[in-house]
Structure 1
Amino acid sequence: MMNLSFVWVFSSLMMVFCGLWSFAKSHKHMLNSLLSLEFMMLGVFSLMVLEVVSVGSEMYFVLFFLTLVACEGALGLSLLVFVVRSHGSDYLSVFNVLEC
């Protein structure tokens, strides 16, 4: 029978790798890229929780990481709204490197 912590680690690593694969393969829309980044951060967060629980130390660092991930998500969504308002869509192909 499989140990529960092994299943948790395996599922967390699969979340990170699936988010990385999704980020690399589906980079047509900005929203897809942001969602795959959030999925990767969720996998990293669950790995950190497992490590902190197994060591038995304080949860302050995990809560700090969760706060940073939430701020990153809010910043990404605000950038998405700005891009949609200024360019009309969230396609990454509409950005021109020469435009400022």
Structure 2
Amino acid sequence: MMSFSFPLCCSLLVVFCGFWGFISSYKHLLNTLLSLEFLMLGIFWMLSLQSTNVGSEVYFSLFFLTLAACEGALGLSLLVLIVRSHGNDQFMKMNLLEC
């Protein structure tokens, strides 16, 4: 049975705060990307805590961290592309027919 410790509760709080930030900030693309990175950081923290409790499976957490970094780079490149083409990152001012 899994016991809830203080670091695990803190990582769950980080995940829920990132998810709440992703849901509530829907106007700007930069805010949604930052909340997604915060969510990934919380999941990585929880994954690393659980992998240290189970055994020495560190490679899976490093692979997850690599994928999270690639996701962040892809999101920032999309942000730069949208700002160059539309002038801002607001979702409300973008016309879906032009994209």
Query: Is TM-score (shorter-chain normalized) higher than 0.5?
Result: yes
Query: 1:33 is matched with which residue?
Result: 32
Equivalent-residue separation in structure 1 for 2:49 and 2:62 (angstroms): 13
Query: 2:49 is matched with which residue?
Result: 50
SS of alignment partner, residue 94 of structure 1: coil
Equivalent-residue separation in structure 1 for 2:16 and 2:34 (angstroms): 14
Instruction: After TM superposition, give the deviation of residue 99 of structure 1 in Å.
Output: 2.4
Q: How many residues align?
A: 97
Query: 2:21 is matched with which residue?
Result: 22
1:51-70 aligned at under 5 Å gives the runs 51-70=50-69
Aligned structure 1 segments of 4 or more residues deviating by more than 3 angstroms: none
1:62-94 Cα deviation digits (max 9, x unpaired): 000000000000000000000000000010112
Aligned sequence identity (%): 60
Query: 2:75 is matched with which residue?
Result: 76
Q: Which has the higher helix share?
A: 1
Unaligned regions of 5+ residues in structure 2, if any? none
Instruction: After TM superposition, give the deviation of residue 97 of structure 1 in Å.
Output: 2.3
1:4-23 aligned at under 5 Å gives the runs 6-23=5-22
TM-score by length of 1: 0.91
Equivalent-residue separation in structure 2 for 1:44 and 1:26 (angstroms): 20
Q: Which amino acid aligns with 1:73?
A: G
SS of alignment partner, residue 5 of structure 2: helix
Equivalent-residue separation in structure 2 for 1:65 and 1:32 (angstroms): 22
